[in-house]
Structure 1
Amino acid sequence: MDGKSGIFLFCAAVAWIAVGYKVAALARNPRNLNLWVLTLCIALPAAGFTMAVPAVYTAVNRFFGVPNLASLLVYGCIVGYSITALVMLMLWHMPAAEALPRARVLAVFYGLVLVAMAVLFANSGATVEAPSDFDDVYGPRPVGGTFLLVYVSAFAFGLGVAAWRSLQFASRVARSDGRPWLRRGLRLVAAGSIVALGYCLGKGGYVVAAWFGTTLPALSDVGTLCACAGALVITIGFTIPSWGPNLSAAADRLGRARTYLRLYPLWHAMYQVMPEIALDPPASRRADLRMLRDLDFALYRRVIEIRDGRLALAPYLAPPDGTPPPDGRGPDAAGGRTAAATREAIRIRDALARLRAASPERQDADPSAPAARETRSATPAQADDDGDLAADLEFLGRVSSALRRLPPATTATSSPGAPVRS
């Protein structure tokens, strides 16, 4: 198998996977016209790439008994895709009652293009099998070249309109409901269509150059690469509005899990000195990781327990150094937030040392033993009432990371004495 066949198989596999994904959706919603059109829009290039593989190409020709018929079928599928894509975009952009009459006009145009391609193919004299280089063999000929030019012209028309419509619709979505994954999908369809236009330019340029006696195989090869790359991007663009939100949900969950794990050093430092802050303390670090199964509850509990620990430490905290907190703007904002978090981590470390020194009985406390603690529960609503939770989580995460890196408190800091009065 040569490199071109491998690329065709890869593109076909990706497209057929997307088709299977949409067929499963059709089984749940068989009356959805948009879904039918979208499935056809992906299936047509999938069939085209499949038949372009030399082994399949030869089998199709042998089955029908017509040499090189697979070329006509492949190019018919590609033109059919460009027309179906326009119908799909119209159904996304306007009501079905308004889109269907325009779709019929496109169907008539597609039919005329297919008839012209079939007539030219029948008169091209393509009687010798050329599964890998049909364009190179028959493109330089007058009729064969005209057949290819009709094909790439119709394809280029569909791609150009699809790119324009996609960008237009993406701007409309951004101004209205702002669905991010639909907007991204439309922009990907536009980008893929523009890339695929390179295929039309390459194939058309190859034919015209051949008619003038110049052979430029590089144009044909680059065009094929543009077609494959554009098809992949377009396939992703048409399907990403349905599976993209799952990526957002997964990324959000991963971010919350990372925050939960990041807060562990701060929480654990407080829990070792004040075990009563924990509602349901884990027996070990591994047990703590199992809390990720109920991530929302675990994260909100962790924040509340850290806040409770911070309140309990208030009498032992050294006064702030007077440096104003960063306002979150400007190039030095991140550095300022890190410095503020480090200062807070030092205050908490020293306050924990003072509390431990002031209460010697805590030094021998068994963190896993039952402690007299309030039975508290946390809900997202309760946590949100305490301010900007996202900003709070970010700052607490920085404090926890800074605390993990700090050396132990000095002896002077740890010496017994009265609580610090700020």
Structure 2
Amino acid sequence: MTELLLVGIAAAVFWKLYQWSRAPHDAPLRSVTLCLLSAALSYPVAMPGGASGVDTVAGHGTAKLIQNVLLLLTVYFLMCFYLYSADGQAARRRARREAVVVALVAVSITVAAESVPNEVFAGSFSTADMTIPQIAFFYGGAGLYLMYALGVAGRWTRRYARMSRRPHATGLWMAAIGLTAMAVACAVRAVIVAIRWSGGTVPQPLMTGVAFLLVVSILLFVAGVTYPGARARITSLTLWPRHRRDHRRLTPLWQLLAEAYPENVLRPASPTLRDRWRARSVHRRYHRRIVECRDGLVDISPYLGYTAEDTEVLDLDPAELAERLRQAVTTIGKGALSPRQAVPLAIPQDDDREADVRQLIAVSDALRLSA
């Protein structure tokens, strides 16, 4: 499971690095990429094997220091994403000021960690001796900055969630709740540090509850960030077989109209075997075929013998319209010219895309049955 998670994180980082390489001046994209990169680098350092390896080489506590500095950078770049998304000089100045703040915090906790023996700095948050001022400052200072940055990011996420529509609003609200819960957990941990620094004790169930809240809030934030994209992907895959089927059913009508007006056939974007089965390519070919059929019907309509004032053309059933279309293609093939104006054909009663496609398919099915 851990290996799969690492592979997923690495894939996300490489994808964002690729996107960043294609748009090096995109400040929000750069912030997201550096946020993911910092989080990805902190994960192996936090693992027991990675932490012990780093501590063996650089001394006890080094892995913990690196992990916390990377976490500070993670939330800083997350905050920068919102700042740069505002796209204003004030936002850019704010990002530079925030960079100074996170640098000061990182330097301060590094000095605190280096000012105590390595053996004292060993251990976890629950076992560390918080009566030592440097240890308390290390955990408290990092926790307070995390609380601040996560709280600010959560507030901006809630603002964007109010301005968005579903499914993006749903994902943003999930992310906002996750960020707020993480900020609350960091605030509680800061209180725990203060209590233990003063010599008090904290019940173990409370420590466990805060750790559980952090895990749940992180998962909720990740779920919120991925929800819109995952839902769009699932919807796309759900529509894939239907669009393939409708694309094939439109073939008789499309072939008839393409024979009369080959110039209406749009040039394929990616005519490869792999592209043929991709969901995005299927949807693209499906919508392109609808456009080509509609363009062809507009061009061929003057040859049906109706004028713009005639209304009976609107009431033609699919079978009769299919027969008229065959006759019109024959007329065009003989080089006949028609001075009549274009009239609408195969217009559905309901004014929506699905009804329009059903009407085109009905005409196409009638052409296939009469062939």
TM-score normalised to the size of structure 1?
Answer: 0.56
Question: Does the alignment pair 1:135 with 2:129?
Answer: no
CA offsets 1:301-337 (integer angstroms, 9 cap, x no match) = 8xx9xx9996559xxxxxxxxxxxxxxxxxxxxxxxx
The code of the aligned residue for 2:185 comes to Y
Q: Percent identity?
A: 18
Gaps of 5+ in 2: 257-276, 298-313, 330-343, 360-371
Higher alpha-carbon deviation: 53-62 or 383-392: 383-392
CA offsets 1:343-383 (integer angstroms, 9 cap, x no match) = xxxxxxxxxxxxxxxxxxxxxxxxxxxx9993899xxx966
Question: Does the alignment pair 1:116 with 2:108?
Answer: yes
The code of the aligned residue for 2:160 comes to F
Specify the alignment match of 1:156 in structure 2.
147
**Aligned-residue offset at 1:295:** 4.0
- 1:258–1:101 Cα change, 3 Å: same
Specify the alignment match of 2:201 in structure 1.
214
Contact 2:79 2:152 in 1 (8 A): yes
- 1:139–1:254 Cα change, 3 Å: same
Q: Secondary structure at the match of 1:138?
A: coil
- 1:146–1:278 Cα change, 3 Å: closer
The code of the aligned residue for 1:109 comes to V
Equivalent positions of 1:58-137 (< 5 A) are: 58-64=52-58, 66-95=59-88, 97-127=89-119, 130=122, 133-137=123-127
Contact 1:26 1:36 in 2 (8 A): yes
Larger Rg: 1 or 2? Answer: 1
Question: Does the alignment pair 1:374 with 2:326?
Answer: yes
Contact 1:192 1:230 in 2 (8 A): yes
- 1:24–1:230 Cα change, 3 Å: farther
**Aligned-residue offset at 1:56:** 0.5
2:173 corresponds, among 171, 174, 187, to 187
Equivalent positions of 1:359-370 (< 5 A) are: none
**Aligned-residue offset at 1:161:** 0.8
CA offsets 1:34-58 (integer angstroms, 9 cap, x no match) = 2222111122222222210011111
**Aligned-residue offset at 1:240:** 7.0
Q: Which has the higher contact order (CA 8 A, sep 6+)?
A: 1
**Aligned-residue offset at 1:209:** 5.0
- 1:181–1:39 Cα change, 3 Å: farther
CA offsets 1:372-395 (integer angstroms, 9 cap, x no match) = 993899xxx966665424563899
Specify the alignment match of 1:227 in structure 2.
214
Q: Secondary structure at the match of 2:126?
A: helix
**Aligned-residue offset at 1:102:** 0.8
Paired with 1:17 and 1:232, the residues of 2 have a C-alpha distance of 18
Question: Does the alignment pair 1:27 with 2:27?
Answer: no
**Aligned-residue offset at 1:19:** 1.4
**Aligned-residue offset at 1:185:** 5.3
**Aligned-residue offset at 1:226:** 3.6
**Aligned-residue offset at 1:125:** 3.9
- 1:115–1:109 Cα change, 3 Å: same
Contact 1:198 1:227 in 2 (8 A): no
Paired with 1:10 and 1:200, the residues of 2 have a C-alpha distance of 28
Paired with 1:108 and 1:311, the residues of 2 have a C-alpha distance of 70
Paired with 2:80 and 2:324, the residues of 1 have a C-alpha distance of 68
Paired with 2:109 and 2:44, the residues of 1 have a C-alpha distance of 20
CA offsets 1:134-191 (integer angstroms, 9 cap, x no match) = 212215433223321111111001111111112123334x3xxx6x666555434322
Contact 2:243 2:286 in 1 (8 A): no
Paired with 1:148 and 1:374, the residues of 2 have a C-alpha distance of 80
The code of the aligned residue for 1:100 comes to R
